[in-house]
Every structure is written in C-alpha cells, then in structure tokens.
Structure 1
Amino acid sequence: MKAAPDAQRRLLDLQAVDTALNQLAHRRKSLPELSEIETVSREISALEDERVRAQVAVDDLDRDITRFEKDIDQVRTRKNRDQARLNAGGALREIEGLQHELATLNRRQSELEDAELELMEKRESAEQTLNEIKKRIARSIERRAAAEARRDEATAEITKEQEFKTQSRAPLAADLPQDLVQLYDKIRADTGLGAALVRAGRCGGCRIELYGADLNRVKGAPADEVVRCEECRRIMIRTQESGL
C-alpha cells in the first residue's frame, strides 16, 4: 500500500486520540468506586442476612413472652376464682382444697413470671443486637450512596472527555486516505495499536529492535510505502527519529 509520508505521520495523531479513548474506557471500567460499591453491597447483603436472623430471634421471644403472659393471666383468673370461692366460705375440706390449690397457683405464677422476666431480658438483648445491625446497615447504605455519587461524577467527566476525543477523531480520520485508515483500524481492532513510531531503529509497537534483512527492508522501502512490522504487524511510521 502506498500513502504520502505526511499522511502516514498523521496516523500517529489518530493513534494518540485512540489511545486516549482506550485509556478513558479502561478508566471507566476500573474506577475505584466500582470496587467499593461492590464490596459495600456484599456487606449490606450479609448484614441483611444478620438482620433477618436477629429479627427472627426477637419475634420468637415475643411469641414466647406472649404465651407466658397468657399462661400468667390464666393462673391469675383461676386464683381470683378460687379466692372468691374461698371468701364465700364452705365446708372445711373444700376450704383446705382451695387453700392448697391457691398455694400451688401462687408458685406456678411466680415460676411463670420469673421465666417471663428472663425472656424479657433476652428480648432486650436481642433487640439491642437487631438495632445495632440496622445502624450498621444504614451506615453501609450511606457509604454506598456516597461511592455511587462519586462514581456518577467520575463517569460523567469521562463521558465528556470521550465525546470530545471522539469529535476530534472524526476530522483526523476524514483527512487521511480511507484505505490507510481502514488498514489502521483493522490492525488496531486486532492488537489495540494500529500505528507505531520507529525510534532509534526499534519498532514502537512491539519494542523489538530491527536488524539484518528486516532492517534493510525498512530502510530500503520508499517513503510513500506503508511498512509493517514483521513481528507485531503494526504500521511502522518512519521519521527523522527512526534512526534508519
């Protein structure tokens, strides 16, 4: 392929724009906020699991406490009934039976109230655990929101730079021979770098020094010949810096 030396040299300007676009795309994908958001999201997910378990523990204790309260109410109701019967008087044997049952009910009520008190203490501790988990979730959500805001700000800046670079690329490419640009784009799509400056006898694409027949081939090529590296296949741009 033939192309004017100046057109070949301007491929480096096109490559500089494309390199900048590649760097911006890489920067977009590797923003530190993305990793932070992912990490915090995993933390929130794990904390949500903890919250569910803590809530279940509180709910279980609430059910147990409610059951004890019902049992205590039943005991109290029975005590009131027996006390009323006792107050009404009656046969000695019946009175003794009622007194015995009241004593039994008092013990039962005391046992139930002690057990209920123990459950209420456990519930207080379980609720404290639940509330602490909720606070941690809230703090993590705030951290994630802050990271998302920073991500959005950085992404908007990158998008603005990409748009500017893309707009500047169009006239550069349009001003070059289309067959040269097509070759350049094909190589760039395959390797990420379409054209590279030869500097001090070394290919700027693969960094391999030219020697022997390959060096003679490049040296002997006409100035308007589009020369490609035998190693990396990129277009080699020759200037005064090339040392040829």
Structure 2
Amino acid sequence: MKAAPAAQKRLLDLAELDSVIDRLAHRRRTLPELAEIDDLAARVARLATQVIAAETEAGDLAREQTKAEADVDSVRTRAERDQKRLDSGQVSSPKDLASLQSEIASLHRRQSDLEEVVLEIMERRETADERVTKLAAERDELAAARAAAEDRRDALFAEIDKESAEVKGRRGDIVADIPADLLALYDKLREQFGVGAAMLQGSRCLGCRTSLSIADINRIKAAAHDEVLRCEECRRILVRTPESGL
C-alpha cells in the first residue's frame, strides 16, 4: 500500500485521539458511581423486601389484637349481664345463685387472661411497628443516597460525553486527510490490537515497545517514503517521522 508521508503521519494524530476516546469510554464504563449505584440499588431492594415482611407481620398482629379485644369485650359483656341478673335479685334459688356467681367469677378470670393476651399482642405489635419505621427510614435513606449517586453519574456522563464529542469532531477533521484504503487498514488494525498505528522512534516501535532488528531497519531505510510499513512484531502500521532517525 502507498500513501503520502503526510497522510501516514496523520495516523499518529488519529491514534492519539482514538486513545483519548478509548480512555473516555473506559472511564464512562468504570465510574465509581456505577458500582455504588448497583450496591445501593441492591440494598434498597433488600430493605424493601424486609419492609414488606415487617408490614405484613405488623398487619397480622393488628388483626390479632382486634380479635383479642373483641373476645375481651364479649366476655366482659357476658359478665356484666350476669352481674346485673345477680344484682337484680331475679335469681332466688341458692343453686342457681351459686351457679351464676361461679360463672361470673369464671368470666372475670377469662377476661383477665384475655386482657393479658391483648397486652402481649400490643407489645409485639409495638415492636413490629418500630421495626417497620426503622427499616422504612433505612430504605428511604439509601434510596436518597442512590438518587444522589445517580445525579453525580449523570453529571459525569454529560461531562465525558461532551469531551468525547469534541474529540470525535477533531477526529473527523483528521480522517478527511487520510486516504480511504489507509484508513480502512488502520481501523481494522485498531479493532484487532487497540492501536492501529505507531511511531518508529530510532529503532523502536512505540506500539509494542520492541526494538527492531538490523535487517528490519535496513528494510525500512530502503523502502520508499510513501510505502506503508508494518511492524513485524505487532503488525501495526509503522509511521516514520524525523524522530525515526532514518
């Protein structure tokens, strides 16, 4: 392949810009905020699940408390009704009177037992409600931290994308100076090796940092100025400049 030396030198400018573009793309992919957001999102999801479980437990206890209180009211009502019968004097039979007194005492004991159950449920429900409040607060705090990290990520994305767009614009100006066949070769090599062209500095390829053999140097010296050369080691386009010392 043949190409004017000036066009070949433009490959070095292109490679430099492509290196900047690659660094910007790598930076965009590896922003610390991305890992932070993923971690916070996972923690928020776990807490959301825990909140639902805690809310379910608290709801179950609320229904259990309502039922227990209803049982207390039912027993209290029966005891009050029997007490009114006892106080009214309507029961005159000693046997019936003793039976009624025994039932009232039994109902009072039952009421006392049920009230203890209600108190125990209320304590458990209070603990469950406190857990819901604590977990929800932690979830909301982490969600706010995630939102802040997302804002930082978006600001950095905008900054990186702006810089990348500027570099790509400059790249377009350079591409216009490079023949299509040479550019196609450069792009192919860049896709394969990450860098498509490198400078020959003295006897060293700056692409693979390898010192060329005397035979390779002599071959390069004998090549026409417009011949497109390749490094025998890394196969990148080898660009000759005044720093090559040839």
Partner SS, residue 234 of structure 2: coil
Residue in 1 aligned with 2:130? 128
Partner SS, residue 188 of structure 2: helix
Distance 1:200 1:46 in 2: 60
Residue in 2 aligned with 1:70? 70
Structure 1 ranges of 4+ moved more than 3 A = none
For residues 165-185 of structure 1, the C-alpha deviation after alignment (integer angstroms, 9 at most, x for no partner) is: 111111211122222111111
Distance 2:217 2:79 in 1: 111
Residue in 2 aligned with 1:242? 244
Q: CA deviation at 1:242?
A: 2.4
* Percent of residue pairs bearing the same amino acid type: 48
Q: CA deviation at 1:231?
A: 2.0
Partner SS, residue 210 of structure 2: coil
Residue in 2 aligned with 1:219? 221
1:6 aligned partner, one-letter code: A
Partner SS, residue 238 of structure 2: strand
Q: CA deviation at 1:211?
A: 1.1
**Corresponding pairs, count:** 244
Question: Which of these residues, 134, 138, 141, is aligned with residue 140 of structure 2?
Answer: 138
Q: CA deviation at 1:34?
A: 0.6
For residues 137-191 of structure 1, the C-alpha deviation after alignment (integer angstroms, 9 at most, x for no partner) is: 0100110000000011011111111111111111211122222111111111222
TM-score (norm 2): 0.95
Q: CA deviation at 1:76?
A: 1.0
Partner SS, residue 207 of structure 2: coil
For residues 65-119 of structure 1, the C-alpha deviation after alignment (integer angstroms, 9 at most, x for no partner) is: 1121111011011112211211222122111111101111111111111111111
Residue in 1 aligned with 2:23? 23
Residue in 2 aligned with 1:9? 9
Question: Which of these residues, 96, 99, 104, is aligned with residue 97 of structure 1?
Answer: 99
Give unmatched runs, 5+ long, in structure 1.
Answer: none
2:81 aligned partner, one-letter code: R
Question: Which of these residues, 191, 194, 197, is aligned with residue 195 of structure 1?
Answer: 197
Residue in 1 aligned with 2:35? 35
Q: CA deviation at 1:243?
A: 4.2
2:45 aligned partner, one-letter code: S
Q: CA deviation at 1:213?
A: 2.8
1:77 aligned partner, one-letter code: T
Q: CA deviation at 1:56?
A: 1.9
2:140 aligned partner, one-letter code: A
TM-score (norm 1): 0.95
Q: CA deviation at 1:233?
A: 1.2
Residue in 2 aligned with 1:48? 48
Q: Is the 8 A contact 2:21 2:167 kept in 1?
A: yes
Aligned CA RMSD, in angstroms, stands at 1.3
Partner SS, residue 232 of structure 2: coil
Distance 2:202 2:129 in 1: 74
Distance 1:20 1:76 in 2: 83
Residue in 2 aligned with 1:83? 83
For residues 23-44 of structure 1, the C-alpha deviation after alignment (integer angstroms, 9 at most, x for no partner) is: 1111111111111100000100
Distance 2:105 2:57 in 1: 35
Further displaced range: 216-225 or 124-133 = 216-225
For residues 3-37 of structure 1, the C-alpha deviation after alignment (integer angstroms, 9 at most, x for no partner) is: 12121111111111111111111111111111110
Give unmatched runs, 5+ long, in structure 2.
Answer: none
Further displaced range: 93-102 or 208-217 = 208-217
1:151-230 paired onto structure 2 within 5 Å:
151-230=153-232
